[in-house]
Amino acid sequence: MLSALKMGGVVYAALVLNNFYGRRQALFELNDYFSFMAATIIFIALPLSYTYWTFVLLKKISGRTLRIIEAGENLFFVGLFWAVVMLTGAGDSRAKAIFLFVIITSTIQLGMGFGIFTAALSSAALIIIDIFHQPAAGAVNVRFEDDIAMITLFFAVASSLGYYVRANAIHIKGLVERINVDWLTGLLNHRSFHTDLSFRFEQFTKGKAPLALALLDIDYFKQYNDMFGHPKGDEVLKGVGNTLREYQTGLVTPYRYGGDEFALIMAGMDNAQIGHFTSELRRVFSEMEFEGEEFLSAKKLTVSVGVAVADDYTDSAAELLKYADDALYKSKFNDRNRIEFYSSALEWLKDDIERQQGHLIPTIKTLAGIINAKDKYTYGHMEKVVLYAKLLARELDLDAVETRRLILGAYVHDIGKLNISEAILVKKTPLETHEWEALKQHPVHGEQIIRPIPALREAAGVVLHHHERFDGRGYPDGLLGHQIPYLARVMAVVDSFDAMTTERPYKRRLSFDEAIIELKSNAGTQFDPRAVSAFLRALKNHRRYLSHIESGDYAGEPLNGLEGEIADE
Ligand SMILES: [Fe+2]
């Protein structure tokens, strides 16, 4: 619109010049050919070049540079129009109103201040012309009165239009704030968080700035809300929001992530700074006081924090978020009121692997990717089994070595399906006997695949025996009761629970409650009763956390949390 206005100004100038010289005399001694060429340039070439300038070149520029160029362009137009006035009779020119074009565009583009500045320049141009182009001695300078009216008009246009532009800018700013800011805490909201995180991650991958993410969750917030009502709960959220806002710097940006969760994006901080900053946060939150918190079961409102630092293994912003979320869950899991760092990339495995096996992490990722390509079900299944295994390991109070073995086993328990034909894996009808026999070989194949990998070897027993039954009727070896390795018995429970609660092409998924009944009735026959009761306790304790799986929303996501899940014992 503005460009059209400027172009209108140019064309108007051309018309004025044309009329003026058409009526009176040629600008120079032009013959017809040159007149034609001059008209062509004015009416075709100039608008075309201006179109290119404004729609192609200027579109590539933004921010401060664009504003400087726009200011320069407007000043150029003041000069151009001044020349037009001079060429069309100076003081007698009838084209003085042409300055209105540039006053309007500069006000709209750069605001009231610059608009008034342009009006002042244009007015000065008129006054200077009046001073230097006085009428013959003795005659009254009638043009001066007209010019004063014109100048008044210039300022009236710049100020009234400027006022409108300013009001509009405030309105737009308000709208943008409504979209991006959380009304309760005044922090940036969930939407801004995702936009900013993607941007920061892109910067990180370009090597511009280190990136870390913290997720904060207020412990026992639901209990507080239930006890004191939502208005009091909102006060707590505001308090936490205000505290976080105090830490907003160029390096740290706080967000309200949703509900009682907050997020902090830390860009450009090294690990030492992040460590220092998060311990400072922990101190501040532990010193905060909230009305009535002493009535809570924990006697204190606290926050749990999960921190993840992006590294070479972090593939996407979503992956970083998942890491932080894992760390947050770990923090909640470990009695809350603490800060957990996501320990990246199989730290405990890395040294071992780098010495012996090269890069195991990409290997496991690749294997998982291949399984995913073959059988979607197995992929999502693997992640859920890992999750259940983690919960169960804690419930059973397994030591670090056993926990690691169980979780590794959970990751790779079905890896032998790589050797099973896709036709069997994705078959939508019940399997034929020979197909079933082939499928039953997957624990053996799995054990053979991981046996040569030292870092995975310890999970071999879990992989080989995860389909044994407590009553000896399982496969591949038909081991009975305590002959079956303990962790394989544990794995059998979580594996079956997920199989039962997952939709398959030929089988309806059971609800959690139905699957629990099923586990109970098979305890002692198919399953080790001790493992079943421990798993049921774990389920009961973490039912809320598992609600996304229970509701069936959980789709097999890429195995992004691989390193963390294993390290996260
Ligand atoms: Fe299996």
Q: What is the pLDDT of residues 228-267, one digit of tens each?
A: 888 889 999 999 999 999 988 889 999 999 888 999 999 9
pLDDT at residue 180 above 60?
yes
pLDDT at residue 369 above 70?
no
- Span from the CA of 476 to the centroid of ligand 1 (angstroms): 11
- Span from the CA of 492 to the centroid of ligand 1 (angstroms): 9
Mean pLDDT of 136-147: 68
- In what helix (H) or strand (E) does residue 217 lie, and over which residues does it extend? strand 211-218
Mean pLDDT of 51-73: 78
pLDDT single digits (tens) 442-464? 999 889 888 877 778 888 999 99
Looking at per-residue pLDDT, the higher value among 489 and 25 belongs to: 489
- Span from the CA of 72 to the centroid of ligand 1 (angstroms): 71
- Span from the CA of 311 to the centroid of ligand 1 (angstroms): 33
pLDDT single digits (tens) 378-400? 556 777 788 888 888 888 888 88
Looking at per-residue pLDDT, the higher value among 92 and 367 belongs to: 92
pLDDT single digits (tens) 425-436? 777 778 888 888
Contacts 24+ apart (CB under 8 A), 189-198: 189/255, 189/256, 190/255, 190/256, 190/257, 190/258, 192/255, 193/255, 193/257, 193/263, 193/265, 194/317, 196/253, 196/255, 196/265, 197/265, 197/317, 197/320, 197/321, 198/317
- The pTM of the full predicted model, rounded to 2 decimals, is 0.47
- Span from the CA of 422 to the centroid of ligand 1 (angstroms): 15
- At 330, is the pLDDT very low, low, confident or very high (cuts 50, 70, 90)? low
Q: Which backbone phi and psi does 527 adopt, to 5 degrees?
A: -115, 155
- Span from the CA of 167 to the centroid of ligand 1 (angstroms): 66
pLDDT single digits (tens) 159-168? 999 999 889 8
- Span from the CA of 366 to the centroid of ligand 1 (angstroms): 19
- Span from the CA of 447 to the centroid of ligand 1 (angstroms): 12
Question: What is the rounded average pLDDT for all residues in the chain?
Answer: 79
pLDDT of residue 533: 92
- DSSP H helical segments within 42-189, as ranges? 46-52, 63-87, 99-132, 142-180
Looking at per-residue pLDDT, the higher value among 551 and 390 belongs to: 390
- Span from the CA of 562 to the centroid of ligand 1 (angstroms): 19
- Span from the CA of 466 to the centroid of ligand 1 (angstroms): 7
- Span from the CA of 442 to the centroid of ligand 1 (angstroms): 7
- Span from the CA of 198 to the centroid of ligand 1 (angstroms): 37
- At 356, is the pLDDT very low, low, confident or very high (cuts 50, 70, 90)? very low
Mean pLDDT is lowest, of 362-376, 445-459, 468-482, for 362-376
pLDDT at residue 490 above 50?
yes
pLDDT of residue 387: 81
pLDDT of residue 17: 67
Q: Where are the beta strands (DSSP E) in 433-566?
A: none
- Span from the CA of 474 to the centroid of ligand 1 (angstroms): 12
